[in-house]
Structure 1
Amino acid sequence: MAYSQKQPDAAAVEEDERQYGSGPLSREELDAKYPHRPHNHSQTFPFHELFKSLFNPLNDIKKRPTGPTVARAKQGPHGPNNPSPHEMRRNIIQRFMSRWRSEVGDDFYPAMRLIVPEKDRDRPMYGLKEKAIGKLLVKLMKISPDSEDGYNLINWKLPGQSTTTRMAGDFAGRCFDVLSKRTMRSTVGNMRIAEVNELLDKLAAAQGESQQLPIFETFYENMNAEELMWLIRIILRQMKLGASEKTILDLWHPDAEALFNVSSNLRRVCWELTDPTQRLDDEEGGIGLMSCFQPQLAQFSMFSFQKMVDRMGVTEDDPEFWIEEKLDGERMQLHMVEDDSVAGGKRFAFWSRKAKDYTYLYGNGFEDDNSALTRHLKDAFDPRVRNIILDGEMITWDPESDLMVPFGTLKTAALEQQKNPFSTGIRPLFRVFDCLYINDQDITKFTLRDRYKALTQSVRDVHRRMEIHSHVVAKSVDEIEPLLRKVVAEASEGLVLKNPRSMYRLNSRNDDWMKVKPEYMTEFGESLDCLIIGGYYGSGHKGGRLSSFLCGLRVTKNIIDSQGANPMKFYSFFKVGGGFRAEDYDKVMYLTAGKWVTWDRKNPPTEYIELGGPDGQYERPDVWIKPSDSVVVEVRAASVGSSDSFKTKFTLRFPRFKRIRTDKDWQSTLSIDDFINLKAKAEADREKEMKVDSSRKRMTKRRKKELVIAGNDSKIKTPYGGPQTKILEGLNFCVLSEMLQPVKKSKAEIEEIIKSNGGSIFQSPTAKEHILCIGDKKVVKVASLIKRGHTNVIKPSWILDALKQAEIDGPGKERFLVPFEPNHMLHVAPESREAIARNVDQYGDSYARDLNPQELKGVLEDMMPIKNSTFSPTAFLSELEQRGKGLGELRGSLFRGCVAYLAPSDGKQNSATELERKVARLRFLFAAGAIAEDLHAEVTHVVVTNEDRGQVRALRQQIAESGRRKIPRVVGWDWVTESWSEGTLLDEERFAVV
């Protein structure tokens, strides 16, 4: 590694000793563990350099107006003199890192752990949230909690007591607002990054307010308001800079993300990767024992079962895929090594998906007195196993009912097992589904089949303590639905489909593992009338006003009689914040003005409202309202699920506001008995075929097209029946498998193409020297060549590309042979890798041939985001929606999942109406809506203009005759325009056309 050549000055040496001498490992132990760790030649930057040179510039880019009109008018086309926002962010980060290397040295770890604090696993959590920090600052500044500033800090989500509420919902911003009036310094302080890290380490180790307050006092005395604001964001690990940790790691070193994925260790990334020109070896980039890694995750898929299976790459030769039950627990990795210093000779470590160390809970050895699990695993491993890494799910199991307990009780069960290891109560159970390392060998590059074989030969089931997770070997799509129905009936999480031919991909979601969960299915869709009983203040731009509401079910007469309860009593049921437009919020607040009461945790209004949880404080609202003073809202939900967070013990999944029911009062809302009866009826009617709900993803009508050359309408010619060109003359080929992409062709067809263009065919890759091996699948022969490592395996698509380019260039250049490119290769020998990579530019654009439309589209997509990014917009959006978050009020996602059929115009519209229709259509498409050419099965809305309302009857007749199970809504264009104006998807009934 190329470290700084400058000798460290005395101040840098002292700084190094201070910041690395007070952690879990002493400075000497760190030097022994990292013998080549870099040492800075100068002191670290002052802390304020972080936000002046990095944080604020990145935030300024986030605040810039976006959109094509602004980009054209203000920024012009992107280029070297006018970079895109993405390039600007990269430039800002690169400049800061270059300055650090030049002015400080090669040890970037002190800065990195403040830039991406959420990825710093070396520093424990502080145990401080917004309210706790607010109380500390109130005491520090010696102001009354009841004063305006004290109230604003402690109740940061609530509107301020003054008319200024711009900082409501932004805790760090509100802290700046209060601190700027009374900080000890008006200018930036002189604390350096190393000093800040040293104090933050002490803060993480501090116990209670008495130890935390002096540390905050030191920060307060040495920082101005802006420095303190950024410090608070670092403590809360809520930076929101607009640049992901992937970008930051990639700019530090090309292999930084890969090393972080296998180690989850920022310190190791910064200390082992100091020179960007020195790349990691393959072995260095693999997982290691007792080093936490970022696990592979299952993809959220919204495709049909058939499409899911197709995307896993099943073939006629190997149609197999695996179906596992999805477990409702916590993802966990287990590491075990031989260690004579531990009683029993085996040492264990456990880490969660978020790299939290749970060894203290589950045990570090067979004889660990605090073990909730390992003391039961003495017979769990084959005697030949010296060390191993297992991937699985830690779940809670109830031995009495012999059933899995829903998520949320795992830690309680583990703590109980620590106290009483042979208790018959609930316990942690580790279900193992993958083996990634065995006896000093990383096997993540092996197929899932081989890894599972290694797992079954290495691990033995320990009944209801550690067990191998079973799977069903399936060969037909028809096998999925019965299993899904079974897990739905058993209230399980769902299924995971896995590709047994796949290798393990760290920190990745891809089509090799795909989730199928009950809530993805088209099932429950009732509208319910429920009463608002509480409210929650929003954050960000919604700060200072109620943005979501707690709704409840009316307590029934039998409960009132048995408990002597107030007849006007409600149990908490669900929270709703989606579907409201501005006028709906205004109407709710108008009807309830002056009737909201701040929730008092010490004196909750149990006479009227009961919340969930053992202490009756789960999902506690900021304010509550007496039922007789409240309003009834109609909501629609996707499904019902069990939940301990609400008093009813169940809740709605993905509830959405539909309308305010001014015709109803608290006495006519849904009661607990009413809802139970409604739920039972819905379940009894649920006999229809279970299908994936594809309405959430954008559906586009796809037509199978012939592959054409970009800028040329001529089709690809596949020559047969004698030589057509001499482009392959003098070349020897061995075709090892069929062709899969871009078109499917048999081995014989590929050989015929080669012979028709002058090439020679051999059936063995060793039959002659200089044979080009052609293959598109890892059949046995291909796998054998790859294992040897020094033979290139070329995809058949290279042959088609060579023929296409010969056709484009014409007879005068038909001897020009397209060079190999990375996407032409199934396997590249190490000695050829660099030469082949030089045949394309940084985005994968070929220097030697014209691209087809699909390739050109791929190149353009790779330019932004970064090339080879594992980020998938579809998967990201699906995950947000499944977690009930979505994209909020972003207009670019407003109509996602909506497929509209536009009623054809009768041609009588005036120009103004026609223009309005065109604008609304463009808005619909911009906001992720899809437009259908006809009334096919996926259409969710039929949109007509006022002048076309005469067509409605005929359209409804067409819909009725189609026999569709799900009827699309017929709405006017004003549904699109008003939803756009309000920034939220409005209820269609208000705009229904009859």
Structure 2
Amino acid sequence: MATIKPDPNDVNETVASKVHFAELCGLLEKIAKTQGNDKKKRILKDFIDQWRQSHKILHENEKETTDSFYPAMRLLLPHLEKERVAYGIKEHMFAKLLIEVLCLGKDSQDAQRLLNYKAPKSAKADVGDFASVVFFVLQNRCPSRGHLYIQEVNDCLDGIAANNAAKKKDAVRKFIVKLITNMSAMELKWLTRMIVKELKIGLSQSSVLSVFHPDAEEFYNVNNNLEKVCRLMHDPSVRIHEIGISVFSPFTPMLGERASPDKVEKLMEGKTYYIETKFDGERMLLHKDGGEYKYYSRSGNEYTNTFGSNRYDGTLTQYIHDTFKSDLDTCILDGEMILYHAETGTYATKAMNTDVKSTNREGYQPCLHVFDILLYNEKVLTNLPLKERLKYIEKAITPLEGRIIISEHKEAKTNQDCADALNEAIDGREEGIMVKNPESVYRPNTRKGGWFKIKPEYVGGLMDELDVLVVGGYFGVGHRAGMMSHFLCAVAVPPKDGATEPELFYSFCKIGSGYTKKELQDFNAKLVDHWQAFDKKNPPKCIELASGFKEKPDAWIEPNKSAIVQIKAAEIIDSDRFKCGFTLRFPRVEKFRDDKQWYECMTVSEVEEMKNKSGGKLAGGYVELGEDDEPTKKKRKIISRAVKPTLGSQFRAADMSSVKQTSKILEGKEICVINGPISHSKQLLEKRIVECGGSIVQNPGRETYCVVVEKVVFRVNSMIKSTNYDIIKAQWLISCLENNTLIPWSPGDMIFATEKTEKLFQHDFDEYGDSYTIDTSSNVLKDVFTHMKMKSKDELSSENIAEIEDKYFPDESPYGLFRTCKFYLDNNLVINDPSTHIKDSSLDLIALELRFFGAVLSKKLSLDISHVLVDSNDLVRVKELKSERRSRQKKFHIVTPDWIKECMEEGSIVNERAFEPIV
């Protein structure tokens, strides 16, 4: 930076008015080309030091000045400029402005380069980097060096922002002309990146702020005001030891770190901790100063106009003004804003596509759940421990149902306490739980302060996984520039009769996280030759998007050239942005599936079935903790969610590195093991298969001999529907291994047989499974007699009747509605003890209806119960029932008579979760 000399005639001079914008761009160019974070920071530090030295020269005789590093800092961190949130100019709009100002023909080569900057051959520039394309187009149209100072550039940008908001196009054009005619192409490249808020110099926000001042990032997190940070922290030797929180100054709240139930004891060092419900709403900070109120979101956006600035207006303030204690003047409350339905007493979730900030809520009203307080009558509470801060909440407000609530917390100490709380949250269809250290102080915008969030999707083995097909891509920016960084995924429309491979795919979700940079690069390299530009005037016939192309990709790929990705998500929610009509909430990639063919992705009907099965929630199980070798420690029986995405436990193969072949009974046989019994786990069976000369795969293909299954799960049902694989009971494989011989299949070994296998059985076995050629044994004979008994018309089971009804009277037998259900009526809860069953209860009449419609009733809560029916007016045993359910391997549904009524009205079994009582 050149030496600055003060002008005695200029009383308003600033450093920014003396430093050329070209110097700042030269700094950015140098930083961008330098390798290594430390070297980049040293270059930036030299520039800041020179700025501070110039500041001393200009203002050495002034006691106070508002001049600071802010004019440069706002250009170094353009994405932090709240004043420019509504700037209104992105790449495409800026391209059209440049074309207009430069008088380029719309069909000219340079105009097309600007408009189609993501096209790989648009210019000799990085793919998808708009600023590089601008440089390429303007390098022969601009002066070799600009003449504008940093202050002048800021004035122009502010002018563009103000006039763009006022829709004064001519004024906007005037400022852009001034910038273009007074800047070099290199300067315009960096200006473009500042406008689109993507600087791409390889330094993070944290790094830039730390170079300016060691406390700058912490102070910015408190007040979200970049100008205030630069002005008050001009001297790096002056440290800020206490966080300065003040009313009506927005800041980023404290956040929770991810955790899992089996780590809580260690995180809390064995001490007591608090458990709270994790609410599915919008984080909101309420500031109160006398009769004036303001509301700020987590990102610092203000929503006072919605909720109300005083006791007479808004959707919330007018109802809660009188809940504040009379001796309270100022306060800042931290909480979650949720929509509450007064008539039903229920809360809305984000899955219902509701917006707490909207004024159109269809019967819902905003309710603030307060879980922390940071200021009480001008006293800053952030340095007090949480257990002390919570006392101030009760001193500040009186709760009002449906408007402002003090969030409840309970004390816990063990991993099992945490697991039980998470299971209760799953039962209650809640988002998860928060675990907090009672001694934690409040630290804005940090996840390392003693708060932990635990959701079902953070715990491996709890969430259902989905295999979807990549059909579209979006060009990346920043460190992902030059490749596809996000992907449009689809599911298959079930193929028509006779077809083996799907021909049409519906858009389903967009993914952009969960993978490492190396995994992303490898996946891009695999597909790079197959991408085609997406033209909405001539879209591909094999892929259907939502009407209006609401999620249009930059490029698309033929399904048979693409690959499957395995993803996880919190839940399936309704959405009109994708052709399916629903999509995933918080999707992330678990694995790129090289072991699956493109046509093996999930179908629309399969995803819809998952959605209907659990009300959209994808939590497919419960947390179970088991004793470790040390009695004071716990470990999960499920696979924990690692930082790096891995395969789910049901797909994970055994380690075969040390396995040696000892037999040839399975030589040449490729087998897929889905699961096994407790005595023979999936991994053990796979090792024994390899020992016997066979090979294993995690997903069956055309060469697979059979699929081995102990328990029929959702994935197995999908295989059965495909009719492509012989699916065998695990006991057949165990018998082969124990007898060291390959035992031929019999009908009794099969869970599902292909058409080819069925024909072989018809040739060798009668209808009861008795072989024509093989001598029988006592065990086989028992199985045959059992099968004959099941076939007997006089002793058909409920399940057999249901199968017959489904086969011969699919649309004509309403009286078999509950044929496959086994009910326990909670007249009086006595588990596995029928002796005290009370007769003549309120559920007896419903019992007659259930029998009439084919249900089986049990007088005890046996292990094969599928449903427990409870009286809506007597829910005292629901908690006990849920506790019993969590202890069982086979879960049962808890429903009220309303579910029975709904099923009868619909003529089919409806989703039980919506009718499970919540206590």
TM over 0.5: yes
Paired position in structure 2 for 1:265: 225
Q: Does 1:331 align with 2:283?
A: yes
Paired position in structure 1 for 2:137: 178
Paired position in structure 2 for 1:230: 190
Maintained 8 Å contact 1:571/1:647: yes
- Amino acid paired to 1:573: F
- Amino acid paired to 1:621: P
Paired position in structure 1 for 2:245: 287
Q: Does 1:480 align with 2:425?
A: no
1:970 Cα deviation (Å)?
9.1
Paired position in structure 2 for 1:651: 584
Maintained 8 Å contact 2:95/2:115: yes
1:640 Cα deviation (Å)?
6.1
Paired position in structure 2 for 1:393: 336
- Amino acid paired to 2:265: V
- Amino acid paired to 1:353: R
SS at match of 2:276: strand
Name the CA distance, whole Å, in 1 between partners of 2:233 and 2:486: 46
Q: Does 1:514 align with 2:452?
A: yes
Maintained 8 Å contact 2:489/2:507: yes
- Amino acid paired to 2:24: L
- Structure 1 residues 490 and 442 mapped into 2: Cα distance closer, same or farther (>3 Å)? same
Residue from 39, 44, 50 that aligns with 1:85? 39
Q: Does 1:200 align with 2:157?
A: yes
Maintained 8 Å contact 1:633/1:660: no
Maintained 8 Å contact 2:491/2:508: yes
1:438 Cα deviation (Å)?
0.7
Name the CA distance, whole Å, in 2 between partners of 1:462 and 1:366: 15
Maintained 8 Å contact 1:555/1:570: yes
1:631 Cα deviation (Å)?
4.8
- Amino acid paired to 2:296: W
Name the CA distance, whole Å, in 2 between partners of 1:526 and 1:247: 39
SS at match of 2:251: coil
Paired position in structure 2 for 1:637: 567
- Structure 1 residues 177 and 41 mapped into 2: Cα distance closer, same or farther (>3 Å)? closer
- Structure 1 residues 41 and 12 mapped into 2: Cα distance closer, same or farther (>3 Å)? farther
Residue from 172, 177, 182 that aligns with 1:212? 172
Maintained 8 Å contact 2:21/2:149: yes
1:263 Cα deviation (Å)?
1.9
- Structure 1 residues 281 and 478 mapped into 2: Cα distance closer, same or farther (>3 Å)? closer
1:547 Cα deviation (Å)?
5.9
Maintained 8 Å contact 2:468/2:566: no
Q: Does 1:599 align with 2:535?
A: yes
Maintained 8 Å contact 2:433/2:453: yes
Residue from 274, 279, 300 that aligns with 1:322? 274
Q: Does 1:432 align with 2:390?
A: no
Per-residue Cα deviation, 1:823-845 (whole angstroms, up to 9, x for no partner)? xxxxxxxxxxxxxxxxxxxxxxx
Q: How do 1:239-638 residues align onto structure 2 when only pairs under 5 Å count?
A: 239-280=199-240, 282=242, 285-301=243-259, 304-315=260-271, 319=272, 321-338=273-290, 346-368=291-313, 371-399=314-342, 402-407=345-350, 413-416=356-359, 425-510=363-448, 512-523=450-461, 530=468, 532-539=470-477, 549-555=487-493, 570-575=505-510, 596=532, 598-600=534-536, 609-612=543-546, 616-624=548-556, 630-631=560-561, 633-638=563-568
SS at match of 2:419: helix
Maintained 8 Å contact 1:554/1:669: yes
Maintained 8 Å contact 1:400/1:424: no
Name the CA distance, whole Å, in 2 between partners of 1:541 and 1:968: 43
1:388 Cα deviation (Å)?
0.6
Name the CA distance, whole Å, in 2 between partners of 1:309 and 1:41: 54
SS at match of 2:359: helix
Name the CA distance, whole Å, in 1 between partners of 2:8 and 2:209: 28
Per-residue Cα deviation, 1:372-394 (whole angstroms, up to 9, x for no partner)? 33233222311111111111123
Name the CA distance, whole Å, in 2 between partners of 1:96 and 1:293: 30
Name the CA distance, whole Å, in 1 between partners of 2:390 and 2:198: 39
1:467 Cα deviation (Å)?
2.3
- Structure 1 residues 660 and 176 mapped into 2: Cα distance closer, same or farther (>3 Å)? farther
Which structure would you say has the larger Rg? 2
Name the CA distance, whole Å, in 1 between partners of 2:295 and 2:278: 21
Per-residue Cα deviation, 1:887-918 (whole angstroms, up to 9, x for no partner)? xxxxxxxxx4679xxxxxxxxxxxxxxxxxxx
Paired position in structure 2 for 1:46: 20
Per-residue Cα deviation, 1:52-89 (whole angstroms, up to 9, x for no partner)? 2x322322224x6x9xxxxxxxxxxxxxxxxx537635
1:173 Cα deviation (Å)?
1.7
Maintained 8 Å contact 1:531/1:631: no
Per-residue Cα deviation, 1:197-233 (whole angstroms, up to 9, x for no partner)? 2222222223247143332222112111111111122
Paired position in structure 1 for 2:78: 117
1:399 Cα deviation (Å)?
4.7
Consecutive unaligned residues of structure 2, counting only runs of 5 or more, are 60-66, 497-501, 631-640, 666-670, 688-696, 706-919
1:521 Cα deviation (Å)?
1.4
SS at match of 1:507: coil
Per-residue Cα deviation, 1:89-116 (whole angstroms, up to 9, x for no partner)? 5644554444443565562222222222
Paired position in structure 1 for 2:841: none
Q: Does 1:55 align with 2:7?
A: no
Name the CA distance, whole Å, in 1 between partners of 2:5 and 2:527: 67
Name the CA distance, whole Å, in 2 between partners of 1:334 and 1:989: 56
- Amino acid paired to 2:103: K
Per-residue Cα deviation, 1:673-724 (whole angstroms, up to 9, x for no partner)? 233446778999987652699xxxxxxx999xxxxxxxxxxxxxxxxxxxxx
SS at match of 1:388: strand
Residue from 114, 128, 133 that aligns with 1:153? 114
SS at match of 1:365: coil
Q: How do 1:818-837 residues align onto structure 2 when only pairs under 5 Å count?
A: none
Maintained 8 Å contact 1:45/1:104: no
Per-residue Cα deviation, 1:504-557 (whole angstroms, up to 9, x for no partner)? 122221251001011111236777665554343444687566565433234469
Paired position in structure 2 for 1:944: 657
1:651 Cα deviation (Å)?
3.0
- Structure 1 residues 688 and 271 mapped into 2: Cα distance closer, same or farther (>3 Å)? closer
1:247 Cα deviation (Å)?
3.8
- Structure 1 residues 327 and 617 mapped into 2: Cα distance closer, same or farther (>3 Å)? farther
Maintained 8 Å contact 2:276/2:409: yes
Maintained 8 Å contact 1:135/1:154: yes
Name the CA distance, whole Å, in 1 between partners of 2:370 and 2:617: 36
Per-residue Cα deviation, 1:706-747 (whole angstroms, up to 9, x for no partner)? xxxxxxxxxxxxxxxxxxxxxxxxxxxxxxxxxxxxxxxxxx
1:192 Cα deviation (Å)?
1.1
Maintained 8 Å contact 2:469/2:565: no
Per-residue Cα deviation, 1:563-614 (whole angstroms, up to 9, x for no partner)? xxxx965431134676978887677576x68xx46232xx5859865545xx
- Amino acid paired to 1:671: T
1:993 Cα deviation (Å)?
15
Maintained 8 Å contact 1:526/1:636: no
Paired position in structure 1 for 2:796: none
Q: How do 1:745-764 residues align onto structure 2 when only pairs under 5 Å count?
A: none
- Amino acid paired to 1:322: Y
**How many percent of aligned residue pairs carry the same amino acid?**
28
Name the CA distance, whole Å, in 2 between partners of 1:358 and 1:219: 35
SS at match of 1:944: coil
